[in-house]
A and B are shown apart, each in its own frame.
Chain A
Amino acid sequence: MKLHEKILTHYLSCTSPVDKEGYLNKKKNRNDTYHRRWFVLKANLLFYQERPADRHLLGVIVLEGCAVQHSETDGHFTFSLVFGPGLKTYRFAAVDRQGQESWVKALHSASHCYLSMLVKDLARQYEEAKQQQSLGESHPSVSALKLPTNSFLFATTQQTAVVREGRSFSASTLLQAPSIPAKAVAKKSPKLWTRRHAHVTPLNGPAPLYGEWPLVGFDPLEDFSTLHDYYGQEVKKVREDWLKSRQKEEDHTEQDLIDLG
């Protein structure tokens, strides 16, 4: 069977996230010795080469239908990928216990089936959360929050050929959204207004209305690193604010000391 290798090597070198990489020792055959190889886990594919910088890929293991097993007998932090009777068993040895455990964990959850199940579960949770929000007397502006995200989704789905799965539900909420903001303004308590004027998005509170929504232009389909940076900014801001307020406090205490002196 022909495996179109160029597609795989291209995938390996592209910008999508690497799930795990590092040195591992791999046994060539059952009774052989271990060879040190550089492994890269991306999606449900485990690539290996001699060194990280190598252009030449030695091989790839497709991680579907295999079980990851700790081997305790060797005492060398070993583990293996078992595909079943009549099929291959790949044997590995990590450098230490930590390496062994982290690789076993990563390989356990690498399969496509696993991720598919996880996403289904999250989709269900998401639907439940949405229903609870619309049912309960939750902050009205959260429903208004649906408006900006919906419009982004619609904007982005035109660019990429992505077909919406859970997103089709957003279409119905879009129809309801216009009436809600009007109520939102009337119902907002003073407390909520203050929070709204804060520059930091309160994590557990209502989000600012559309005009102040910090994620304008945010594409939920962007890669993880961008998302990570975005959320990192929020944390940075909070930290800065906290440091500033601490400085003010310090100034205060200095003043007091001088008075006493």
Chain B
Amino acid sequence: MRFNEKELVLLSRQPSERAAELGMRGPKKGDVVKKRLVKLVVNFLFYFRTDEEEPIGALLLEQCRVEREDSQTFSIAFLDEAERKYVFECDTEEQCAEWIDSIIKASYEFMRKNLIYYRTEIHRLTGKVRPLAAARRCAKCHTDGASNQQRSYRGMVTVRFGVHIIITINSRQTGRLMKGDGFGFARQC
């Protein structure tokens, strides 16, 4: 299966939610614990050999189960295969708890559920509904997202969920990609 490897490797080098050297053991019988630099970026868990630039591998943190194995160890199981776990050994109890927390919250599906939860609650509390995809005007500055797909001086714009997002490409020029530009990222108007 093809994938955008170079871009994914670049993603692994971005500032991350959480990165540390942990003891990591694979799911197969006979796999031993190895010291790896484990890095959480968006909903991927990258793992590197210490001091290497390119990660050995990337694990997508969706549809997985994170469990505490003991006071300093946690595991991640994928594919509903409860027995096949990736095991991670931390230095302290606190670090272990923090990793579990971060991994669970990193999942896209978790965030999506939060989105639904907040919208439902806001609706119940205020009686107001902000239609999801239909809100094409920014509530703040009233830009119409539909007509504004072009690049503005700040970057490309879109309106989604009634929120005006500007996707900039790290340079404030008129959308020209400058050398050394990092990632496009979204910010509100």
Interface residues of B in 108-146 (CB under 8 A from A): 108-122, 124-127, 145-146
Q: Are A161 and B167 in contact, with the CB atoms below 8 A?
A: no
In the bound complex, what is the Cα–Cα distance between A10 and B65 (angstroms)? 14
Question: Which among A8, A43, A88 is the interface contact of B4 at CB below 8 angstroms?
Answer: A88
Least Cβ distance of B79 to chain A in Å? Answer: 5
Q: Are B115 and A122 in contact, with the CB atoms below 8 A?
A: yes
Q: Are A65 and B7 in contact, with the CB atoms below 8 A?
A: yes
Residue B158, interface by CB 8 Å: yes
Q: Are A3 and B124 in contact, with the CB atoms below 8 A?
A: no
Question: Ordered nearest first, which 4 A-B pairs have the shortest CB separation?
Answer: A59-B2, A65-B183, A43-B108, A204-B127
In the bound complex, what is the Cα–Cα distance between A116 and B165 (angstroms)? 12
Q: Pull 30 A–B residue pairs with CB atoms less than 8 Å apart, ordered by A.
A: A1-B55, A1-B57, A1-B58, A2-B57, A3-B8, A7-B63, A7-B78, A16-B62, A16-B63, A17-B112, A43-B43, A43-B108, A44-B108, A59-B1, A64-B183, A65-B10, A68-B167, A88-B7, A101-B149, A113-B186, A117-B165, A117-B188, A122-B115, A122-B118, A123-B118, A125-B118, A129-B126, A163-B101, A223-B113, A227-B116
Which residues of A are found within 8 Å of B150, using beta-carbon distances?
70
Question: Which among A2, A105, A116, A125 is the interface contact of B160 at CB below 8 angstroms?
Answer: A105
Interface residues of B in 13-57 (CB under 8 A from A): 14, 42-44, 54-57
- In the complex, which residue of chain B has the Cβ closest to the Cβ of A167? B117
In the bound complex, what is the Cα–Cα distance between A125 and B140 (angstroms)? 14
Contacts A70-B149, A126-B121, A130-B125; is A115 near B112 (CB within 8 Å)? yes
Contacts A10-B79, A122-B122; is A105 near B156 (CB within 8 Å)? no
In the bound complex, what is the Cα–Cα distance between A204 and B128 (angstroms)? 8
Contacts A59-B2, A85-B181; is A112 near B7 (CB within 8 Å)? no
- In the complex, which residue of chain B has the Cβ closest to the Cβ of A129? B125
Least Cβ distance of B116 to chain A in Å? Answer: 6
Least Cβ distance of B123 to chain A in Å? Answer: 8
Q: Are B108 and A104 in contact, with the CB atoms below 8 A?
A: no
In the bound complex, what is the Cα–Cα distance between A227 and B113 (angstroms)? 11
Q: Are A4 and B60 in contact, with the CB atoms below 8 A?
A: yes
Least Cβ distance of A20 to chain B in Å? Answer: 11
Question: Which among B109, B177, B186 is the interface contact of A43 at CB below 8 angstroms?
Answer: B109
* B62-74 contact mask (Cβ, 8 Å, vs A): 1 or 0: 1111110000000
Residue A36, interface by CB 8 Å: no
Size band of the interface chain B makes with A = 35 or more
- In the complex, which residue of chain B has the Cβ closest to the Cβ of A230? B120
Q: Are B58 and A2 in contact, with the CB atoms below 8 A?
A: yes
Residue A111, interface by CB 8 Å: yes
Q: Are A133 and B79 in contact, with the CB atoms below 8 A?
A: no
In the bound complex, what is the Cα–Cα distance between A108 and B11 (angstroms)? 18
In the bound complex, what is the Cα–Cα distance between A121 and B186 (angstroms)? 13
Residue A119, interface by CB 8 Å: yes
In the bound complex, what is the Cα–Cα distance between A235 and B125 (angstroms)? 19
Contacts A3-B58, A43-B62; is A66 near B184 (CB within 8 Å)? yes
Residue A177, interface by CB 8 Å: no
Contacts A4-B60, A8-B60, A115-B108; is A84 near B122 (CB within 8 Å)? no
Given A59-B2, A65-B184, A88-B4, 4 additional A-B pairs, CB 8 A: A62-B4, A62-B11, A126-B121, A207-B124
Which residues of A are found within 8 Å of B158, using beta-carbon distances?
105, 108-109
Question: Which among B59, B100, B156, B161 is the interface contact of A69 at CB below 8 angstroms?
Answer: B156
Residue A11, interface by CB 8 Å: yes
Residue A5, interface by CB 8 Å: yes
Which residues of B are found within 8 Å of A61, using beta-carbon distances?
3-4
Residue B90, interface by CB 8 Å: no
Q: Are A161 and B65 in contact, with the CB atoms below 8 A?
A: yes
Contacts A1-B54, A60-B3, A114-B186; is A10 near B78 (CB within 8 Å)? yes
Which residues of B are found within 8 Å of A22, using beta-carbon distances?
none
Residue A87, interface by CB 8 Å: yes
Q: Are A104 and B118 in contact, with the CB atoms below 8 A?
A: no
In the bound complex, what is the Cα–Cα distance between A9 and B1 (angstroms)? 10
